[in-house]
Amino acid sequence: MVSAAPSGAPRPAGAQLAQRQTQRAGRQPNAAQLKCLQQAGASPDPVTKRWTFYTTERDGASRTDMFRLCLAGGDRARAQTIPVREFPMNPGGSLPQR
pLDDT at 76 (0 to 100)? 92
- In this predicted structure, the answer to whether residue 78 has a pLDDT above a threshold of 90 is yes
Condensed to tens digits (0 to 9), the pLDDT of residues 23-58 reads 555 567 888 889 999 999 999 988 888 888 888 778
E-strand stretches of the chain = 43-44, 51-52
Q: What is the percentage of the chain residues whose pLDDT exceeds 90?
A: 21
- In this predicted structure, the answer to whether residue 96 has a pLDDT above a threshold of 90 is no
Banded pLDDT at 2 (limits 50, 70, 90) = very low
d(CA 96, CA 60): 19
Q: Are 18 and 49 in contact (CB under 8 A)?
A: no
Q: Where are the domains of the chain?
A: 29-88
pLDDT: is 15 or 39 the higher one? 39
Q: How many CB atoms lie within 10 A of CB 55?
A: 17
